[in-house]
Amino acid sequence: MPLEPVIEEIVKKGQQRVSEIKSEAEKEVEKIVVEAEEKAKEILKKARDTAENEVERLRKQEISSINLEMKREELNRRKEVLEAVYEKLVEKVKSMDKEEKKKLMEKLLKANEKEGYRVYSNKEDEEIVKSISKMEYAGNIECIGGVVLESADGQFRINLTFDEMLSTLFESKMKEVSEILFK
């Protein structure tokens, strides 16, 4: 029976070795699990940081978009007010009394009358123009008042209509008008 103690010793050493291998494997598994948890935490932190950065970027973009829309809306309202002011100005000129209109037309024609030119006006002002101008009356044009002077050959035109003067004046003074209205 001397073989039995040897077998027992081999079995015992085998079990001890299995135990050691198991213990090493458990330690290795534990190490791998800890590393995996750390890596998962790192990945989660990076994902959270990326998401937070994206949220902040989107928030800033949305605020910029809203600010831009508000500015656009404000500019549209200002434009509407300026257009209303212009329309009131046009209405005021349209409703000018005949004497005032005649004086204004006399000044325009005296300052710009040219020999060899003909004159146009709207139908309403035709008689006034004929009575104060020495130039040939060439016909009616569509305007709220004023005149257009044209050379005999038609190459040169001087637009002295109230429409043109109001438009030019308003465009050149729009900044000043805007500053007064929107202080």
Torsion of CA 35, 38, 40, 45, to 10 degrees: -160
Q: Round to whole Å and give the CA distance between 76 and 83.
A: 10
Per-residue pLDDT of the chain (183 residues; tens, 9 = 90+): 577 877 787 778 878 888 888 888 888 888 888 888 899 899 999 989 899 999 999 999 999 999 999 999 988 988 898 889 889 989 998 899 889 999 999 999 999 988 889 999 999 999 999 999 899 999 999 999 999 999 989 899 999 999 999 999 888 887 887 788 777
Q: Round to whole Å and give the CA distance between 159 and 182.
A: 32
Geometric angle at alpha carbon 92, from 144 and 179, rounded to 5° = 110
pTM above threshold 0.85: no
Geometric angle at alpha carbon 100, from 95 and 102, rounded to 5° = 110
Domain ranges of the chain: 1-95, 97-181
CATH of region 97-181: 3.30.2320.30
**Six-digit token string for 147:** 């005149």
End-to-end CA distance of the chain: 116
CB neighbours (10 Å) of residue 163? 17
